[in-house]
Chains A and B, each alone.
Chain A
Amino acid sequence: MIEIDDVSRLYGGVPVVDHVTLTIQPRTICVVVGTSGSGKTTLLRMINKLVNPSSGSLRIDGEDIAGIPAYELRRRIGYAIQGHGLFPHRTVGQNIATVPKLLGWDKAKTADRVDELLTLFQLDPQAFRDRLPHQLSGGEQQRVGVARALAAKPNILLMDEPYGALDPVIRAKAQHDLLAIQRKLGTTIVLVTHDMEEAIQLGHTIAVMAHGKLLQSATPTEIIGHPATPFIAELIGSSERPFRLLALSRVADHIEPGVAEGAPIDADASLRDAYADMLWSARSAMPVTRHGEIVGRLTLDALAKLAARPQ
């Protein structure tokens, strides 16, 4: 658990982070959203002491980080940034081994961990271990950057606009992979982005910041349904609200008994995909399959109710 307690940071008397209090539950993804200059990156960098707070305190699992030497704390926390920050003169394997080496792991254990992470990120260890960063594509560099951040099995992973430099297709895949890896490892992730779409897609909780202040911290459903300020509503976009809400739920949770005509949809798909499919094929209901077997149907009426503003 990360507890940010009434934390401020001033530069030349001007608060960049202004009395922020935020608690991040273990094993969840918290996405901090804001425009540039909102203080979101500064807030993130205070968690691993790259920036020290002017006032207030931060605790990790109850321990005040002020008492932990910065380099020691940072080795316990994964750190992935935009533009990956890979060391250009070191191979992929050496890059990933950075923190294990700092912690003094033995060679065999480090090598095993490097191969394990490369495999986890769908990069063939044989082919990628000895390559240099400039020989990789942007998406591959980004994956190596995250693999490096996870090398020493940290409980916490900090990510600063990790997908900012990727094209939309690769970004979608990277986001999907991150969710799968987070579920598998149970890492607590704090991710900073300016993209509300990304925040809704990834976050268990979303913290919206503007001018150094925390405006709202809540679940995506809550943020979409009840934005605390007009600014947040603007970030979400009024015409997008119902569809973003639908995108949060899966078909599996809203299956009704009965039959329907036409091509079926998988129970794992999002309601948004189901809705688009139904509109496109001009149907009012569609069959739902799980593992290839029809288990029920989904109706347009039900979707319309689900897309309405939550009470």
Chain B
Amino acid sequence: MVLGKSGQAARATRLVTVIGVSMSLADTADAHARPTWLALDKLGVLIAIVAAVGVVLPFALFRANRIVPGETIMLPAALPLPLVFLLAAVLLAGFVAALLRWPAWLKLATGFVVLATLFVLVGLAASYLTPEGETFARVSPGAGFWVLAFAFALLVTDALTRLRLRPQYRVAILVAVILAMALLLWSGLWNDLSMLKEYASRAQAFWSEAQTHLLLAFGSVATAALVGVPLGMVCYKVRRLRAGVLNVLNIVQTIPSIALFGLLIAPLAWVAANVPGAKAIGISGIGAAPALLALFAYSLLPIVSNTVVGLLGVSPAAIDAARGMGMTRWQRLLAVELPLAFPVILTGIRIVLVQNIGLTTIAALIGGGGFGVFVFQGIGQTAMDLVLLGAVPTVALAFAAAVLLDALVDMTARGARP
């Protein structure tokens, strides 16, 4: 009797093992009892809870004009009935995909379908809720939409992480998402959303501020890399310099950003007034010059310290072999040390680029321009849609930069990983 029972259990275990190749994920006793496709996914449960909260929060926000407080509109009232059913069905599929231990690619595909549906339908909801011929009324996405979008974005990123895609494929997915967003904007589906109405009335300013934003963020990182990498190399070679330089940069890093922007006004104004030619090349107390300088200062520490750490991490055996074979100092640095440290240096540049894209918004405070202009105008006018017009592109830009540079780091780490 006892024998029979244990035999049965063994057979059941075997059966489960045959069904689920990814048994290593199902590690609880509970999960063993169920077929794997029914087993619960730990992070998925969290995603589903967040998404459930999103469903009961208002899907859209309606206001008579751009600055009055609005009325919240729940999901069933936000769309024509057939579309409500469509969204419900898609969301249900999304719940199931999040909760269960499905293969990662299936979760990814479902996540993208849910996000695409949400994005298209929020545009349609805006058109549906805006009264005919009404130009002052504003419809914006409600808390429910944002929470749902966040939940399924989490599902997508989690699935992407699990898939461990090659860097080339990750970039391809990024490009596809950018193209899809461009198509959505170009198609006019979102034209009735409040954020795009804000855009429509200041399209020209939007693109010129976008240009300034990119110039400030990328320009500061590029100059910081040009200065920081050689400085890091010097700190690596000259040990006595290392602690001092890194400590100074550490202190710079701790200055609050608004304070640093402000602190630079006085010295730069003095330079503009007293150094001949300084004004001619655009240096002044307020504007782009102090913004660029502050962003540059913030960028130095991660770049210098990553350069030092990267160089220190190069295998001592490889360096000894390089010396022993008769490479000169420079040959060693260029042919062995820098290439091997490059992925780490690039990681530093990635941190700084993502950081600076966000930080550049604050440059608007001292007249530096960039997307921050809309954020601060929006705060001043209590027009949240205008704040979003500045914030959403900034977040999207930072995200795209992170994905792109992560892929680049992986591609350059050839052979450097053990």
Chain B residue with the shortest CB-CB distance to A135: B415
- The 8 Å CB contact of A85, one of B318, B327, B335, is B318
A295 on interface, CB distance cutoff 8 Å: no
B289 on interface, CB distance cutoff 8 Å: no
Q: Is B317's CB under 8 angstroms from A102's CB?
A: no
Chain A residue with the shortest CB-CB distance to B323: A50
Q: Is A74's CB under 8 angstroms from B325's CB?
A: yes
B320 on interface, CB distance cutoff 8 Å: yes
Interface-forming stretch among A86-94, A208-216, A303-311?
A86-94
Q: Is B315's CB under 8 angstroms from A85's CB?
A: yes
Q: Is B326's CB under 8 angstroms from A85's CB?
A: no
A87 with B328, Cβ < 8 A, contacts A50-B323, A132-B415 known: no
Q: Is A48's CB under 8 angstroms from B415's CB?
A: no
- A125 CB to closest chain B CB (Å) equals 19
B276 on interface, CB distance cutoff 8 Å: no
- The 8 Å CB contact of A87, one of B326, B336, B417, is B336
A75 with B339, Cβ < 8 A, contacts A83-B317, A85-B318, A85-B320 known: no
Q: Is B339's CB under 8 angstroms from A99's CB?
A: no
A85 to B321, CA, bound (A): 6
| Interface of A toward B, CB cutoff 8 Å | 48, 50, 70-76, 79, 81-90, 98-99, 102, 132-134, 145, 148-149, 158
Which residues of chain A come closer than 8 Å to B324, judged between CB atoms?
48, 50, 74, 79, 81, 85, 158
B164 on interface, CB distance cutoff 8 Å: no
Apart from the given pairs A48-B324, A81-B317, A148-B325, 16 other A-B contacts in the complex at a CB distance below 8 Å: A70-B326, A71-B326, A75-B326, A82-B317, A83-B317, A84-B317, A84-B321, A85-B320, A86-B318, A87-B335, A87-B340, A88-B416, A89-B340, A89-B416, A99-B325, A99-B326
Q: Is B323's CB under 8 angstroms from A89's CB?
A: no
Interface centre among A84, A98, A134 (most CB of B within 10 A): A98
Which residues of chain B come closer than 8 Å to A81, judged between CB atoms?
317, 320-321, 324
Which residues of chain A come closer than 8 Å to B318, judged between CB atoms?
85-88
A85 with B317, Cβ < 8 A, contacts A48-B324, A50-B324, A74-B324 known: yes
Which residues of chain A come closer than 8 Å to B320, judged between CB atoms?
50, 81, 85
Which residues of chain A come closer than 8 Å to B315, judged between CB atoms?
85, 88
Which residues of chain A come closer than 8 Å to B414, judged between CB atoms?
89, 132
A79 to B323, CA, bound (A): 10
Which residues of chain B come closer than 8 Å to A79, judged between CB atoms?
321, 324-325
A75 to B318, CA, bound (A): 16
Q: When A and B form their complex, what is the total count of cross-chain residue pairs whose Cβ atoms lie within 8 Å?
A: 72
Chain A residue with the shortest CB-CB distance to B340: A89
B22 on interface, CB distance cutoff 8 Å: no
Which residues of chain B come closer than 8 Å to A90, judged between CB atoms?
415
A88 to B339, CA, bound (A): 10
B382 on interface, CB distance cutoff 8 Å: no
B223 on interface, CB distance cutoff 8 Å: no
A145 to B328, CA, bound (A): 20
A81 to B331, CA, bound (A): 20
- B411 CB to closest chain A CB (Å) equals 12
- The 8 Å CB contact of A88, one of B325, B326, B331, B415, is B415
Which residues of chain B come closer than 8 Å to A83, judged between CB atoms?
317
Interface centre among A102, A133, A145, A148 (most CB of B within 10 A): A102
Which residues of chain A come closer than 8 Å to B415, judged between CB atoms?
88-90, 132-134
A268 to B317, CA, bound (A): 38
Which residues of chain A come closer than 8 Å to B256, judged between CB atoms?
none
Which residues of chain A come closer than 8 Å to B133, judged between CB atoms?
none
Chain B residue with the shortest CB-CB distance to A75: B326
Give 15 CB contacts A-B under 8 Å: A70-B326, A73-B326, A79-B321, A83-B317, A84-B321, A85-B317, A86-B318, A87-B340, A88-B315, A89-B414, A98-B325, A99-B325, A99-B326, A102-B327, A134-B417
- B333 CB to closest chain A CB (Å) equals 13
A134 to B416, CA, bound (A): 9
- B34 CB to closest chain A CB (Å) equals 41
A98 to B335, CA, bound (A): 10
Interface residues of B in 334-371 (CB under 8 A from A): 335-336, 339-340
- How does the 8 Å CB contact mask read for B228-245 relative to A, with 1 for contact and 0 for none? 000000000000000000
Chain B residue with the shortest CB-CB distance to A72: B326
Which residues of chain A come closer than 8 Å to B335, judged between CB atoms?
87
Which residues of chain B come closer than 8 Å to A86, judged between CB atoms?
318, 321
B418 on interface, CB distance cutoff 8 Å: yes
Which residues of chain B come closer than 8 Å to A70, judged between CB atoms?
326
- A81 CB to closest chain B CB (Å) equals 6
Chain A residue with the shortest CB-CB distance to B315: A88
- How does the 8 Å CB contact mask read for B395-418 relative to A, with 1 for contact and 0 for none? 000000000000000000011111
Which residues of chain A come closer than 8 Å to B336, judged between CB atoms?
87
A73 to B325, CA, bound (A): 9
- A170 CB to closest chain B CB (Å) equals 19
Chain A residue with the shortest CB-CB distance to B343: A89
Chain B residue with the shortest CB-CB distance to A101: B335
A75 to B331, CA, bound (A): 13
Q: Is A102's CB under 8 angstroms from B340's CB?
A: no
Chain B residue with the shortest CB-CB distance to A131: B415
A90 to B416, CA, bound (A): 10
- B338 CB to closest chain A CB (Å) equals 10
Q: Is A74's CB under 8 angstroms from B321's CB?
A: no
- A158 CB to closest chain B CB (Å) equals 8
A88 to B336, CA, bound (A): 9
Interface residues of B in 295-340 (CB under 8 A from A): 315, 317-318, 320-328, 331, 335-336, 339-340
A148 to B323, CA, bound (A): 14
Q: Is B326's CB under 8 angstroms from A102's CB?
A: yes
A158 to B321, CA, bound (A): 11
Which residues of chain B come closer than 8 Å to A89, judged between CB atoms?
339-340, 414-416
- The 8 Å CB contact of A71, one of B328, B339, B417, is B328
Interface centre among B317, B323, B326 (most CB of A within 10 A): B326
Which residues of chain B come closer than 8 Å to A102, judged between CB atoms?
325-327, 331
Q: Is B340's CB under 8 angstroms from A88's CB?
A: yes
Interface centre among A73, A89, A158 (most CB of B within 10 A): A89
A50 to B327, CA, bound (A): 12
- B76 CB to closest chain A CB (Å) equals 58
A87 to B416, CA, bound (A): 9
A102 to B336, CA, bound (A): 13
Which residues of chain A come closer than 8 Å to B339, judged between CB atoms?
89
Q: Is A74's CB under 8 angstroms from B317's CB?
A: no
Which residues of chain A come closer than 8 Å to B325, judged between CB atoms?
74-75, 79, 98-99, 102, 148-149
A40 to B125, CA, bound (A): 81
- B169 CB to closest chain A CB (Å) equals 21
